[in-house]
Amino acid sequence: MFLDGVTYAAIARNLAEGRGRFWEPFYTATIYPAFHEHPPLAFWLQSLWFRAMGDHWYVERAYAAGAAVLIAWLIAFIWRAIHEQPANAWLPIALWLLVPVVSWTLVGNLLEVTVCVFVTAAVAAITAASHGPNAAAIFGGVLSGFCVVGAVLSKGPVGLFPLAAPFIVAIVPDRRRHVVRIAVGQWLTVAVCATALFSLPDAHESLSKYIDQQVMTSLTGHREVSGSSVTIVIELLRGVWLPMMLGGAAIVAGARGWTPASPRDRRVAFAFTLMGLAGTLPMLVSPKQAGHYLMPAVPFYAIGAAALLSPSMTSLAARVSSSRAAGALRIVAVALVAGAIAAMWVPAIARDPARLIDLDRLASAAPIGATVGLCPSANGDWLLHAWMQRRFHVSLDATNPGGHQWFLKSASRGPECPPATCEPASDPTRELVLMRCR
């Protein structure tokens, strides 16, 4: 994980342990003791896993893995609900996993993981309701509306794009009958929830601070600004569509030719590609763009691509099953699965191995839950703040570095520290040295 994922895990763990509350999550005693940089639902959901499993390094990993399984199941559900060949439900899941930003976002413990669960569930409810009785259509719209609210409460306005889904799904001819009922149920649910939330004092205050501190400053370019005003489009072409095109080319090559999709398949492909664009292109209004922002839209791009490739995949499967290549393919598949399982037990390539080793060396001496002094020159090392909170519940204070019983020395961060009254309590040869002060 990099900075964001470590921060979010620390906030979720703190909520699980009773520090902070839903509408006012706690990060550290010195940085964001009331965290309003994002809405709180994703933190609260992850805190449930910490409550159930305890404070361990693997909890945020388990949360992300559980979310990945749920997203994959929802992709298969949507495919079976809308496609004529439900047997190929694995194909959109494979295309989804083929996109690097998916695994990168899951490993990074980013908020887009939770948003992706909610928006995929919102569209799944609509696809199921679009082919059922009238009552099911209204219920599906209401359920979809609650999922949209969940997505917005996880990471703000980026979760609103499934509001267009009732009209986009209607592009498929046999899915038009209930579009009004679904849309009314969905939009009315979102409106009622928004009214209810802003009528609650705590929710109103929390969401208002989020809008002021994060949304408005991002739109006006007063926060992080991406290198290009079309970064999200570049990442879409390079990071999402290119891997899917390469996967599709492999399928066509294996099938020894392109099998054209039916007119209905082409409409499904167009509808779900449009759904993905609805979750992508609105981000162009913000100067703050990043590749992982694409994560919630990737399932819909995958379903759209699978609709075009499904006939060719069927031809490839028929060709393989009737040839001697079937046995070799099974051996390769088993080898890939075995290799993936083995890779789970290989030590990972750490983002910052030296820093993680330093943190391990501090573990025996760390004053759990304390506020620790820090040189002002090291205060901008935000990842250090995040890891000290995540690993040891420690808050770092650079405004009064000599006013605490403990001090954290960062060897490369300036000569003015530490105070003369402090002595090393951990290995003094490391980059990070924990010191006890008189």
Q: What is the largest CA-CA distance in the chain?
A: 79
Q: Which amino acid is at 39?
A: P
Contact 268, 319 (CB under 8 A): no
Task: Take residue 406 and report the two structure tokens written for it.
Answer: 């403990």
pLDDT of residue 35: 95
pLDDT of residue 337: 75
pLDDT of residue 83: 83
**266-287 mean pLDDT:** 94
- Whether the per-residue pLDDT at 325 is higher than 70: the answer is no
- Whether the per-residue pLDDT at 418 is higher than 80: the answer is no
- Whether the per-residue pLDDT at 347 is higher than 60: the answer is no
pLDDT of residue 346: 62
Which residue is listed with tokens 């997203």?
A: 71
Run of H or E including 406: strand 406-410
- H helices present in 156-199, as ranges: 165-169, 179-199
Average pLDDT, the chain: 90
Q: Is 437 helix (H, G, I), strand (E, B) or coil?
A: strand
First CA to last CA distance, the chain: 36
At 5, the pLDDT band (50, 70, 90 cuts) reads: very high
Which residue is listed with tokens 């002595």?
A: 423
Task: Work out the percent of the chain whose per-residue pLDDT is above 90.
Answer: 64
Question: Of 76, 84, 78, 79, whose CA–CA distance to 264 is shortest?
Answer: 84
At 289, the pLDDT band (50, 70, 90 cuts) reads: confident
**161-189 mean pLDDT:** 92
Distance CA(322)–CA(96), nearest Å, equals 28
pLDDT of residue 338: 80
- H helices present in 255-381, as ranges: 263-278, 298-321, 325-343, 353-362
Which residue is listed with tokens 């929802």?
A: 74
Higher pLDDT, 87 or 149: 149
**359-385 mean pLDDT:** 91
Q: List, for residues 138-171, the tens digit of each pLDDT value.
A: 999 999 999 999 999 999 999 999 999 999 999 9
- Whether the per-residue pLDDT at 415 is higher than 60: the answer is no
Exposed, middle or buried: residue 281 (CB in 10 Å: 0-12, 13-18, 19+)? middle
At 344, the pLDDT band (50, 70, 90 cuts) reads: low
Count Cβ atoms below 10 Å from residue 336 Cβ, excluding itself.
10
The residue extents of the domains of the chain are: 5-343, 353-437
pLDDT of residue 76: 95
**213-233 mean pLDDT:** 82
Integer angstrom CA distances of residue 296 from 93, 127, 332: 14, 17, 31
pLDDT of residue 351: 67
